Amino acid sequence: MASISSLAVRELPLFPLPDVVLFPSRPLPLHIFEFRYRIMMNTILESDRRFGVLMFDRNQGQIASVGCCAEIVHFQRLPDDRMKVLTLGQQRFRVLEYVREKPYRVGLVEWIEDNPPTQDLRPLATEVEQLLRDVVHLSEKLTDREMELPDDLPSLPTELSYWVASNLYGVPLEQQGLLEMQDTVARLERESEILTSTRNHLAARTALKDVLPSE
């Protein structure tokens, strides 16, 4: 019988992406053109269609040690053996060690999950969702463009926390921090802080727009 530790650890092909953080249940389209990753994708398609996505920090020149497993759900072959693939985020992982560097990285990884909650997460999730709706509403007023949240916005707190984190733009290090958290409460609380700051900023800009004459 396999031990628990052996079930929680596996080798996984790894794909570092500049300033990109993938979250569970979130889609990630990719255009594969580098030779080594074409090899990797062809190999993956013959097995379980899974590989790990890790954020590569351009400024520091470092690859994150925590990432998210991606599963290929659709692919299209292009000329010159290039490929378009649509992937979907699965479980998170931590790289324990690299077992191979060429032609592409392969790591020994362990799966990680959020710790079981010690409190009811629904009130906090409801607060985050309302803040999200406030931000969208203020953005509409500021840009005079119609914006809507998707009908399939996750209702479960953990899935909502992943959705919000994946839709933060231009802050990959912040996203990486949220990905590494193993406490749903802490993730939702941080997102509440971010959304509150964004809402206040947008509200101030909207108020200024209302009082200034339009050109």
pLDDT at 4: 38
Which has the closest alpha carbon to 121: 58, 207, 184, 72? Answer: 184
Q: Is residue 21 part of a domain?
A: yes
pLDDT in tens, 58-104: 888 999 999 999 999 999 999 888 999 999 999 999 999 999 999 99
pLDDT in tens, 30-65: 999 999 999 999 999 999 999 999 999 988 899 999
Query: Could you list the residue range(s) of the whole structural domain that residue 170 is in?
Result: 122-211
Q: Is residue 117 part of a domain?
A: no
| Domain count of the fold of the chain | 2
| Domain CATH code at residue 126 | 1.20.58.1480
pLDDT at 213: 54
Helix (H, G, I), strand (E, B) or coil at 212: coil
- Is the dihedral angle over the CA atoms 22, 27, 32, 37 positive or is it negative? positive
Separation in Å, CA 161 to CA 64, 126, 131, 149, 177: 20, 11, 13, 15, 13
Q: Is residue 200 part of a domain?
A: yes
For residues 180 and 88, membership in a common domain is answered with: no
pLDDT at 105: 96
For residues 30 and 88, membership in a common domain is answered with: yes
* Average pLDDT value for residue range 14-26: 96
For residues 105 and 137, membership in a common domain is answered with: no
